[in-house]
């Protein structure tokens, strides 16, 4: 029990140190342009703004190269694989995805399941998620901010994924949570981890801040409330494995 507490405290310290490093060495984005389009989908049934592309001219830290499943918008680049875990039949809208590889594996990364969608061109269903992230090729940012991406079994292994579900959450709250995140699409990534807010008017978000705020606006505070919480910030683990309001429903073999 004491070892477990020390382990949790160590993880929190690593998140704080990683946050400080990223904040110190991240350069501001000087020029950016956003192209957006709107499309209706069946789940959930509202107008959605599709964050399509954001280009920057200044280099950023190499936080992981972009993959085919990243920043896909409402299009599906290729057929996803669900043969290993059958994830498409296990996840639900509002589920929180924890990726152990986030920020060089120090803090992890979180995203939220928007729902199950059907791609007409490839004639297949797929899991679509919303996340705030920095996507790079080498040291050049190719996308930055709140975007849509795809989750499949290969990505689950590649990113050491575990999936968490908020306890006793109603369908109305889940719909509100998803709609909150949809309304944040296109906003920038927030590298100032120590200034977080649940306001829907925020101009930028970091990954776990966005997930926390979506549920907070539905009256559910999923942040870890014990002494082990990360001081001054909301870490990915504070809203997943260390949260008192969530339960794990899936763990990849690599997690």
- HSE-CB at 222 with a 13 A cutoff on CA atoms is 32
Residue 238, C-beta contacts closer than 8 angstroms, at least 6 positions apart? 208, 212, 223, 224, 229, 230
pLDDT digits (tens, 9 = 90+) for 176-217: 999 999 999 999 998 787 788 999 999 999 999 999 999 999
What CATH number does domain 2-251 carry, 3.90.1720.10, 3.40.50.720, 3.90.1150.170, 3.40.50.20? 3.90.1720.10
- HSE-CB at 79 with a 13 A cutoff on CA atoms is 7
Residue 227, C-beta contacts closer than 8 angstroms, at least 6 positions apart? none
* CA separation for the pair 197, 177 (Å, rounded): 15
Residue 75's pLDDT is 93
What global pTM score does this model have?
Answer: 0.75
**Domain extents for the chain?**
2-251
pLDDT digits (tens, 9 = 90+) for 31-75: 232 222 333 333 433 333 333 333 333 333 334 578 999 999 999
* CA separation for the pair 154, 78 (Å, rounded): 13
């Amino acid at each position: 029990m004491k070892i477990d507490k020390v382990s949790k405290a160590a993880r929190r310290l690593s998140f704080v140190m990683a946050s400080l490093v990223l904040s110190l060495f991240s350069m501001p984005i000087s020029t950016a342009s956003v192209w957006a389009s709107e499309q209706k989908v069946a789940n959930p049934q509202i107008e959605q703004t599709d964050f399509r592309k954001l280009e920057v001219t200044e280099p950023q830290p190499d936080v992981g190269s972009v993959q085919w499943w990243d920043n896909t918008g409402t299009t599906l680049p290729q057929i996803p694989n669900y043969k290993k875990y059958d994830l498409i039949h296990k996840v639900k809208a509002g589920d929180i995805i924890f990726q152990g590889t986030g920020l060089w594996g120090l803090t992890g990364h979180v995203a939220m399941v928007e729902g199950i969608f059907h791609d007409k061109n490839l004639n297949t269903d797929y899991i679509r998620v919303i996340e705030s992230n920095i996507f790079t090729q080498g040291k050049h940012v190719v996308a930055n901010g709140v975007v849509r991406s795809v989750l499949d079994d290969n990505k689950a292994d590649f990113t050491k994924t575990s999936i968490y579900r908020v306890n006793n959450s109603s369908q109305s709250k889940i719909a509100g949570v998803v709609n909150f995140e949809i309304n944040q699409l296109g906003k920038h990534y927030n590298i100032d981890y120590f200034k977080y807010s649940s306001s829907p008017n925020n101009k930028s978000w970091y990954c776990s801040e966005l997930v926390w705020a979506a549920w907070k606006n539905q009256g559910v505070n999923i942040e870890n409330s014990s002494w082990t919480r990360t001081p001054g910030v909301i870490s990915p683990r504070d809203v997943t494995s260390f949260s008192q309001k969530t339960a794990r429903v899936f763990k990849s073999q690599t997690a």
